[in-house]
Amino acid sequence: MMYRIFVINPGSTSTKVAVYEDEECVYAEKVEHSVQDLEKFPDIMDQYLFRKDNILSALKKVGFHEEDFDAIAARGGILPPLESGTYLVDERMVDYLLHKSPVKHVSNLAAVIAFEIAKGRIPVYITDPVSVDEMIPEARLSGIPEIERKSLSHALNIRAVCRKVAKMLEKDFNQLNFVVAHLGGGISVAAIRNGRMIDVNNANDEGPFSPERTGELPVGDVVRMCFSGKYTKDELKKRYVGKGGLVAYLGTNDLREALKRAEKDDYAKLIVEAMAYQIAKEIGGMCAVLCGKVDGIILTGGMAHSEKFTEMIKAYVYKFAPIFIVPGEFELEALALGALRVLRGEETAKRWGGS
């Protein structure tokens, strides 16, 4: 029996959608939403009906209708910390994502839109949301009792590329140890022990600086900046997520542009090399977390397309473990395959315990 799955992954100004027939992608589109239209919804969560209508119109244009699908696979949003895997979306989860999630992140919209389209007729699943948390106890401590480290990462792509490399090695992902660096607009570097993500830098406030984010900062100077009276809370937040990293130093979030400038400009060269250095340092730390027993270091995400950049990282870490380069992101595929494993009975969908 063939399963047809509709996949939904919202981004800030577009929603990526796809249709899978079993493992095969038969349609994929980035449905663009105009900035003027999105601006009518100051609260991101109010965009869900608008985006749903845009998505359904795009689907109809290529001849698909809601009734054609066996399930919908949606990007998981900022739920309370939870184990990796595929979860059945229910009313309580939708209510949480719409009204209670601590972060109004665009990924929260996916399951809400999908649930609205499914109307209870077909199941909706999410797989490996941003808030997957499998950290070991010693990874949680920050050094200040009131602040616990948070596991917020590119978990979906990280786990998807681990599965790909495990398949290539003809081994079971659950018996392998990997260090995975997702190198996108933000960066997550994770230690995977026997299939579980036992530590990862919070891609919003820790780890290396990235094209758009600062990652970890010297805390004393940050406190001084906070109390300088020069910035509002929102301005400071934008400095570390959105306008940090490459953007802050070079005015661009595009590694291709930064690399081009680095050919002629020593300052740009230093910045790119420093980003590679910080990434390598984080990878080294995660190798220590795995006690040096590492089956592979995987470099993935948009920046892994650049051989020049991955070579800079490899130069530091090549002695630690074999290196696998898996450029780009595989989120749509990972969502479809997560739902497919459940439809085929290879995995049972987890029920969300709620909050």
Ligand X SMILES: Nc1ncnc2c1ncn2[C@@H]1O[C@H](COP(=O)(O)OP(=O)(O)OP(=O)(O)O)[C@@H](O)[C@H]1O
Report the C-alpha gap between 246 and 185 in whole angstroms: 10
Tokens of 98: 């719409």
Q: Which of 15, 54, 151, 253 binds ligand X (CB under 6 A)?
A: 253
Residue 261, interface with ligand X (CB under 6 A)? no
Q: Which of residues 51-80 bind ligand X (CB under 6 A)?
A: none
CA max distance for the chain? 64
Residue 153 binding partner per list ligand X, ligand BUA, none, with a CB distance cut-off of 5 to 8 Å that depends on partner kind: ligand BUA
Residue 84 binding partner per list ligand X, ligand BUA, none, with a CB distance cut-off of 5 to 8 Å that depends on partner kind: none
- Rounded least distance, CB 306 to ligand X, Å: 4
- Rounded least distance, CB 347 to ligand X, Å: 25
Residue whose structure tokens are 């079971």: 172
Residue 306, interface with ligand X (CB under 6 A)? yes
- Rounded least distance, CB 314 to ligand X, Å: 15
**By Cβ distance, which residue is nearest to ligand X?**
184
Tokens of 30: 């980035």
Phi, psi of 82 (to 5 degrees): -150, 160
Q: Which of 195, 208, 301, 338 binds ligand X (CB under 6 A)?
A: 301
Q: Which of 281, 305, 314, 350 binds ligand X (CB under 6 A)?
A: 305
Residue 300 binding partner per list ligand BUA, ligand X, none, with a CB distance cut-off of 5 to 8 Å that depends on partner kind: none
Task: Mention every residue, 6+ apart, whose C-beta is less than 8 A from residue 318.
Answer: none
- Rounded least distance, CB 3 to ligand X, Å: 27
Collapse the DSSP code of 64 into the 3-class scheme (helix H, G, I; strand E, B; otherwise coil) and give the result.
coil
Residue 255, interface with ligand X (CB under 6 A)? yes
- Rounded least distance, CB 342 to ligand BUA, Å: 23
Question: What burial letters (b/e) apply to 240-273, b meaning 16+ CB within 10 Å?
Answer: bbebbbbbbbbeebebeebbebbeeeeebeebbe
Q: Which of residues 190-219 bind ligand X (CB under 6 A)?
A: 211
> 19 or 187, CB closer to ligand BUA?
187
Strands 124-127 and 4-10: unpaired
Strands 296-301 and 323-327: parallel
- Rounded least distance, CB 155 to ligand BUA, Å: 8
Site residues for ligand BUA per CB under 6 A: 130, 152-154, 186, 203-204
69-77, 94-102, 106-114, 180-188 -> range binding ligand X (CB under 6 A): 180-188
Residue 213 binding partner per list ligand X, ligand BUA, none, with a CB distance cut-off of 5 to 8 Å that depends on partner kind: none
> 154 or 343, CB closer to ligand BUA?
154
Report the C-alpha gap between 228 and 211 in whole angstroms: 26
Q: Environment class of residue 75 by beta-carbon count within 10 Å: exposed (0-12), middle (13-18) or buried (19+)?
A: buried
> 80 or 122, CB closer to ligand BUA?
80
Residue 185, interface with ligand X (CB under 6 A)? yes
**Where would I find the beta strands (DSSP E) of the chain?**
4-10, 14-21, 24-32, 71-75, 86-88, 124-127, 141-144, 147-148, 177-183, 187-193, 196-200, 296-301, 323-327, 350-351
- Beta-bridge partner residues of 124: 72
Task: Mention every residue, 6+ apart, whose C-beta is less than 8 A from residue 98.
Answer: 45, 48, 108, 112
Residue 256 binding partner per list ligand X, ligand BUA, none, with a CB distance cut-off of 5 to 8 Å that depends on partner kind: ligand X
Cβ atoms of 158 and 116 closer than 8 Å? no
Residue 245, interface with ligand X (CB under 6 A)? no
- Rounded least distance, CB 153 to ligand BUA, Å: 5
- Rounded least distance, CB 270 to ligand BUA, Å: 26
